[in-house]
Amino acid sequence: MEKLQKQTGRIQAWLKENGQRIGMRGKEIKSNITDNDPTKMQTSHGTIQGYNSQALVDSRNQVIVHAEAFGNGQDHHHVPPMLDGARENMESIGQSGDYFKGKIFTADSNYHSKVNMQKCIDEEVDAYIPDRAFRVRDPRFAVQERYGHQMRTGYGLNDFAMIKRQISTYALPG
């Protein structure tokens, strides 16, 4: 009983000092007294507690311009801090503040979000980030049961107009 009371006191003191962790959806996230920054993430080996590591690479010079580990398993909000961190790094070695203007940025569909797309627009980056439904339109996925029942054949002008409308929704008003 004494051991449990001691543990409870230690946990309550820690919670008083650190407070609640609130996630992107405004809900409380479970805390970890040993290391409170990691998050629970699904992997091919089951659920683990860890960090989501990101690296931004200048492919022309084959060098990492920024790397960071996030305590969030999803990539939906990682582009802004990565671009900001890379800009700080580039400015620290004498590059101009508009380093990203006209550069090509590629990422997988996990990065497709309003926040990430808006950051690319703000930075004037030529971003290639597929939306999460691209497999529905892509004929290469027609043979897969998971996507085949929704498959449309080929691309048309309407697909590109839809993409343009989608991107324009991320533009700043006015």
Q: Tens digits of per-residue pLDDT, 31-78? A: 677 666 777 777 788 887 788 889 999 888 889 999 998 877 778 889
pLDDT at 159: 53
Please give the sequence-ordered ranges of beta strands (E in DSSP) within the chain, or none if there are none: 21-22, 28-29, 39-43, 46-50, 52-58, 63-70, 104-106, 126-128
Query: What confidence tens digit (pLDDT) does each residue in 91-140 have?
Result: 999 988 788 888 898 998 888 988 999 999 998 889 888 888 777 777 77
pLDDT at 149: 46
pLDDT at 144: 66
Evaluate whether 72 touches 24 at the Cβ level (below 8 Å).
yes
The C-alpha atoms of residue 140 and residue 46 are separated, in whole angstroms, by 29
Q: What 3-state class would DSSP assign to 93?
A: coil
The C-alpha atoms of residue 142 and residue 152 are separated, in whole angstroms, by 8
* Burial bucket for residue 96 (CB in 10 Å: 0-12, 13-18, 19+): exposed
What dihedral do alpha carbons 84, 86, 90, 95 form, nearest 10°? Answer: -60
* Alpha-carbon separation of residue 165 from 24, 112, 121, 159 (angstroms): 26, 15, 14, 10
Query: Residue 84: is its pLDDT beyond 70?
Result: yes
Q: Return all residues near 96 (Cβ < 8 A) that are at least 6 apart.
A: none
pLDDT-based confidence at residue 145 (cuts at 50, 70, 90): low
pLDDT at 156: 53
Highest-pLDDT range among 84-88, 107-111, 127-131, 143-147: 84-88
